[in-house]
Amino acid sequence: MDAVLDEAAGKRARGLDRAFEILDFLREKRQALKPNEIAAQIGAPRSSVYELVNLLLRNGILEFTGGEGRVYLGRKLYFLGAAYENHFDFTRECEAALERLADETRETAQFCMLDGNKYTVVRMREGARPFRISTDVGQSVPIPWTASGRVLVSHMTDAEILAFIPPQDFQLPSGEWLDPATFLAEVRAAEGDGHFTFNSIVDSFTHCFAVPVMGDAGHAVATLCLVAPRADGLANREQYLACLKDAARRLGGHAPAQAKRA
């Protein structure tokens, strides 16, 4: 995550940071790995990784699976995640919103959030004519690659945004570099309009729509998106935007559930 190049070289890493680096890495890989492989691939000392993996195994944060001593994310993480989901109870309404969006538009609908300084699809509802969607649920994607990315950072200042997004994330999958100034202009447009749409820069045949879901703090905590074939998206642009904004308004209407007093 924030460890692409860890600070300066030569420093010792803190156990906790290393541990979550391991967890994030396993999530990204989406498969069980041997401690040795983890160490090699994240560039951490083997002895440290073995130590941490054993600690995490003892805590149920990691589990042996896949044989050969391979480890993957553990049950405890599921329980903790379920507690989060239960507290900020967005899932049920979110599913309903996606369902309705998919019904009304027949397009693929997504609910997206930031994961640290990346963009990620939290939930997705396939449209009527499913095509190969470029990003799967749970994958971390550079913010500048997506329409939602513009919306999700629009509450920050330009300086904050540039400090927040890793510079290398402005390199698009095609290899081209997106000018940060262009990106910032699009962010400001999204802020003003309350939505952002563009022809996807990840693939060459879709048009993407993103609108903010407002949270307590008065800025976007998530987005609702549609991914449509280009012709289709352009033809129905106004209808699609209206559907999205309506759905987002309902989702964001009430505060994301304060802690229920015991």
Partner DNA sequence: ATCATATGTACATTATATTGGACATTGACG
Partner DNA sequence: CGTCAATGTCCAATATAATGTACATATGAT
How far apart (Å, rounded) are the C-alpha atoms in residues 176 and 191? 25
Site residues (CB under 8 A) for a copy of itself, limited to 39-58: 52, 55-56
The contact mask relative to a copy of itself for 117-136 (x = CB under 8 A, - = no) is ---x-x--------------
Binding window for a copy of itself (CB under 8 A); candidates: 76-84, 98-106, 142-150, 238-246? 76-84
Which residues fall within 8 angstroms of residue 168, CB to CB, at 6 or more apart?
A: 4
- Is 30 a binding residue for a copy of itself by CB under 8 A? The answer is yes
Q: 113 touches which of a copy of itself, DNA, none (CB within 5 to 8 A by kind)?
A: a copy of itself
Binding window for a copy of itself (CB under 8 A); candidates: 67-75, 187-195, 202-210, 223-231? 67-75
| Residue among 47 and 204 whose Cβ is closer to DNA | 47
Q: 37 touches which of a copy of itself, DNA, none (CB within 5 to 8 A by kind)?
A: DNA
| Residue among 78 and 205 whose Cβ is closer to a copy of itself | 78
* Binds a copy of itself by CB under 8 A, chosen from 6, 20, 37, 229: 20
Could you tell me the smallest distance in angstroms from the CB atom of residue 72 to a copy of itself? 6
- Is 89 a binding residue for a copy of itself by CB under 8 A? The answer is no
DSSP string, the chain: -TTTT-SSTTPPPPHHHHHHHHHHHHHHHTS-B-HHHHHHHHT--HHHHHHHHHHHHHTTSEEE-SSTT-EEE-HHHHHHHHHHHHHS--HHHHHHHHHHHHHHH-SEEEEEEEETTEEEEEEEE--SS----SS-TT-EEEGGGSHHHHHHTTTS-HHHHHHHS-GGGGB-TTSPBPPHHHHHHHHHHHHHHT-EEEE-SSSSSEEEEEEEEE-TTSSEEEEEEEEEEHHHHHHTHHHHHHHHHHHHHHHHSS-S-PPPP-
Contacts with DNA, residue ranges (CB under 7 A): 11-16, 18, 34-37, 40, 44-48, 50-52, 68-69
Name the residues that contact a copy of itself, by CB under 8 A. 1, 14-17, 19-20, 23-24, 26-27, 29-32, 52, 55-56, 59-61, 65-66, 70, 72-88, 113, 115-116, 120, 122, 137-138, 258-262
